[in-house]
Structure 1
Amino acid sequence: MLPDEPRPPADRPPRADGGSGLPGCYRHPDQETGIGCSRCGRPICPQCMVSASVGFHCPECVSGGHREVRRATTRFGGQLTADGGLVTRILVGINLVVFVLAAYVLTPWLAEDLSLFSVGPQITGFPYGVAAGPDQWYRLLTAAFLHTAPWHVATNMVVLWVMGPPLEAALGRLRYLALYLLSGLAGSAFAFLVAGGFMNSLGASGAVFGVFGATAVMYRRTRTPLGPVAALLVFNLIVTFSVPGIDWRAHMGGLVAGTLTAIGLMYAPREHRKAVQGLTLAGMLAVVLVMVLVGTARYGG
């Protein structure tokens, strides 16, 4: 007998009251029935029958079957969605709105208050900006949503618009957003660690370079040819180190953070995926915090 083939109800002795001898429903004993659950064989009355592809199921088997259905996920454990680029579009929109506000509406106060600005006491006599301590650490994140000029924001947003959706679709929205923000934070933290005695930096490039690194890991993991993304990454690195005024520290910090985070997210073993991915994100956040603490100690916070 096949697993889902209709089964006769479990036998019961004839009823003492002279009934038909059919068993009573397992949930409603006073209801005689000749139908049994096609999975477990328990007698079920019309009130309890749930139509199945073959025969009928009892309520318990139906609820148990629903519990056994696994939620569809992306390749790396994220929630599967119909729109794989929503977070990317939101991030692009936020960057564009903040650029317009900082450059044309609330200038220069917004950029001054949100940029990755830091000076040590050897210059001003007291630390200012990120070096001043936790009250100014918000700049590590807000600076990643500021840009200096239209070409600056356009370059970063075009790259994010093109490379973000495939990565978001593979990781899922939450993991992708966490990787993006951690890359931006790591870029800011590394820049502060290296040059926090006197610096002023801003831009989403650290986060975008994190997307570069994660995309390279994804291509490697899925055995997709690395040529196009490698060529684009090399070109951007050449620009980073050859054009004056570009903060290479934020770029490199974001690239390394995005690459390492993606390795933890994409190579996590399936049986321990959530635990390994959670530890990966927490570990990267801890690295960011250590860089900020060391930098603050160096520059007098």
Structure 2
Amino acid sequence: MNEAPSTAPVCYRHPSRETQLACTRCERPICVKCRIDAAVGFQCPECVKQGNKGVRSARTAFGGGRVGQLGYACQAIIAINLLFLTASAIFGGPRAIVGGGGWFGLLGISTPVTEWGEVLGYAYYPNGELHGVAHGEWYRLITAMFINYGAVHMLLNMSLVATLGRYLERQLGPLRFLALYLIAGFGGNVAAYVFQAQNQGSAGASTATYGLVIAVIVINRRLSLDAGPVIPLLVTNLIFTFSVPNISVAGHLGGLAAGAAAAAVLAYPKLPRRGLKQGLGCALVLVIILAATVARTYYLLN
């Protein structure tokens, strides 16, 4: 007995599968495995992909991408700080981690790594070599924000990155958050360069993390959220800055000021061309900081 061939439609992606379903957009037959639920009926993968091309990716209130929810920027900052501390331990021994002095012996000692990367204006080393930012070692104004004197110093700073930093990265997106962090750290290091004695070295991520504290206040005010819980943290840090010996007051206050300026230019521009306005604002802050650097260098060399 002969059988008539089946006339049932087959899935356009799987010709061996018969189906009674069809894409509500292109009307091509699709099987159960290929169907994608839509507002009305089902759609095929190609129609869904085509429709997504016209959908703008979700942005934060300040124009940042939602990838900031993953915290990649904060993780990178913590990893870099950890790498520098590891290098300090390799070249300086266990006391680079703890037991070197300061804060009841909780800080680490100075090592070849900290001496290489800390903020230093213009001074001779014991071996007679001349070093410092004014001697052309401008990299110190960047590296100093990733170098900490021991594990306790690093943990205190990285705890703020892990909490306040993650919050700010979610609000701003990773690129804008990194701009804020780097401007705050750079501004704090430049303030240390400008206002400290030229032979006084200093380093620490606190130049940047102080900027994070004030940035949370700025961002929350812009969002009409309560910034009250952060105020005690700011006050505590300021008391700590002015009461504990051998703290870079200029570095902390410089990071605070630079962080506030960067947060303001990221938080308050509105559409249209918000990204352009934010970029120009950050560039202006950097120009001011660089001008202070050039002026200090000229003073030290003349």
TM-score by length of 1: 0.74
Match of 1:221 in 2: 222
Residue 134 of structure 2 aligns with an amino acid whose one-letter code is A
Instruction: Confirm or deny: 8 A CA contact 1:120 1:198 kept in the other structure.
Output: yes
Match of 2:76 in 1: 90
Aligned length: 249
Match of 1:111 in 2: 114
**Counterpart selection for 1:69 from 41, 44, 55:** 55
Match of 1:277 in 2: 278
Instruction: Confirm or deny: 8 A CA contact 1:120 1:300 kept in the other structure.
Output: no
Q: 1:106 to 1:120 in 2, by over 3 A?
A: closer
Instruction: Confirm or deny: 8 A CA contact 2:265 2:278 kept in the other structure.
Output: yes
Match of 2:65 in 1: 79
Report the Cα distance in structure 1 between the residues aligned to 2:192 and 2:221, rounded to whole angstroms.
28
Q: What is the Cα-based RMSD across aligned positions, in Å?
A: 3.0
Report the Cα distance in structure 1 between the residues aligned to 2:254 and 2:271, rounded to whole angstroms.
29
Instruction: Confirm or deny: 8 A CA contact 1:76 1:266 kept in the other structure.
Output: yes
Residue 113 of structure 1 aligns with an amino acid whose one-letter code is W
Instruction: Confirm or deny: 8 A CA contact 1:187 1:207 kept in the other structure.
Output: yes
Match of 1:244 in 2: 245
Report the Cα distance in structure 2 between the residues aligned to 1:286 and 1:300, rounded to whole angstroms.
21
Residue 131 of structure 1 aligns with an amino acid whose one-letter code is A
Q: Which runs of 5+ in 2 are unaligned?
A: 1-23, 29-35, 42-46, 93-110
The ranges of structure 1 where at least 4 consecutive aligned residues each deviate by more than 4 angstroms after the TM superposition are: 51-55, 61-68, 124-127
SS of aligned partner of 1:271: coil
SS of aligned partner of 2:120: strand
How big is the shift at 1:71? 2.2
Report the Cα distance in structure 2 between the residues aligned to 1:127 and 1:290, rounded to whole angstroms.
24
Instruction: Confirm or deny: 8 A CA contact 1:131 1:296 kept in the other structure.
Output: yes
Report the Cα distance in structure 2 between the residues aligned to 1:82 and 1:148, rounded to whole angstroms.
29
Report the Cα distance in structure 2 between the residues aligned to 1:152 and 1:63, rounded to whole angstroms.
49
Instruction: Confirm or deny: 8 A CA contact 1:118 1:127 kept in the other structure.
Output: no
Instruction: Confirm or deny: 8 A CA contact 2:85 2:148 kept in the other structure.
Output: yes
Report the Cα distance in structure 2 between the residues aligned to 1:92 and 1:80, rounded to whole angstroms.
21
Report the Cα distance in structure 1 between the residues aligned to 2:209 and 2:71, rounded to whole angstroms.
15
Match of 2:103 in 1: none
Match of 1:158 in 2: 159
SS of aligned partner of 2:225: coil
Q: 1:275 to 1:196 in 2, by over 3 A?
A: farther
Structure number with larger C-alpha Rg: 1
Instruction: Confirm or deny: 8 A CA contact 2:120 2:198 kept in the other structure.
Output: no
Residue 105 of structure 1 aligns with an amino acid whose one-letter code is I
How big is the shift at 1:287? 1.7
Report the Cα distance in structure 2 between the residues aligned to 1:153 and 1:218, rounded to whole angstroms.
25
Report the Cα distance in structure 2 between the residues aligned to 1:279 and 1:115, rounded to whole angstroms.
29
Q: 1:275 to 1:281 in 2, by over 3 A?
A: same
Instruction: Confirm or deny: 8 A CA contact 2:71 2:169 kept in the other structure.
Output: yes
SS of aligned partner of 1:270: coil
Report the Cα distance in structure 1 between the residues aligned to 2:48 and 2:112, rounded to whole angstroms.
61
Query: Share of identical aligned residues, percent?
Result: 37
Q: Which runs of 5+ in 1 are unaligned?
A: 1-37, 56-60
SS of aligned partner of 1:94: helix
Instruction: Confirm or deny: 8 A CA contact 1:218 1:262 kept in the other structure.
Output: yes
Once the two structures are superposed, residues 224-264 of structure 1 have per-residue CA deviations (whole angstroms, 9 ceiling, x without a partner) of: 21211011010000000110001011111111111111111
Instruction: Confirm or deny: 8 A CA contact 2:68 2:171 kept in the other structure.
Output: no
Q: 1:69 to 1:249 in 2, by over 3 A?
A: same
Q: 1:71 to 1:199 in 2, by over 3 A?
A: same
Residue 278 of structure 1 aligns with an amino acid whose one-letter code is G
Q: Larger deviation: 76-85 or 147-156?
A: 76-85
Instruction: Confirm or deny: 8 A CA contact 1:77 1:172 kept in the other structure.
Output: yes
Match of 1:177 in 2: 178
Residue 100 of structure 1 aligns with an amino acid whose one-letter code is T
Report the Cα distance in structure 1 between the residues aligned to 2:48 and 2:162, rounded to whole angstroms.
44
Instruction: Confirm or deny: 8 A CA contact 1:120 1:131 kept in the other structure.
Output: no
Residue 75 of structure 1 aligns with an amino acid whose one-letter code is A
Match of 2:233 in 1: 232
Report the Cα distance in structure 1 between the residues aligned to 2:40 and 2:76, rounded to whole angstroms.
47
Instruction: Confirm or deny: 8 A CA contact 2:216 2:227 kept in the other structure.
Output: no
Instruction: Confirm or deny: 8 A CA contact 1:84 1:166 kept in the other structure.
Output: no
Given the alignment of the two structures, is residue 212 of structure 1 paired with residue 213 of structure 2, yes or no? yes
SS of aligned partner of 2:201: strand
Report the Cα distance in structure 1 between the residues aligned to 2:200 and 2:224, rounded to whole angstroms.
41
Report the Cα distance in structure 1 between the residues aligned to 2:214 and 2:246, rounded to whole angstroms.
23
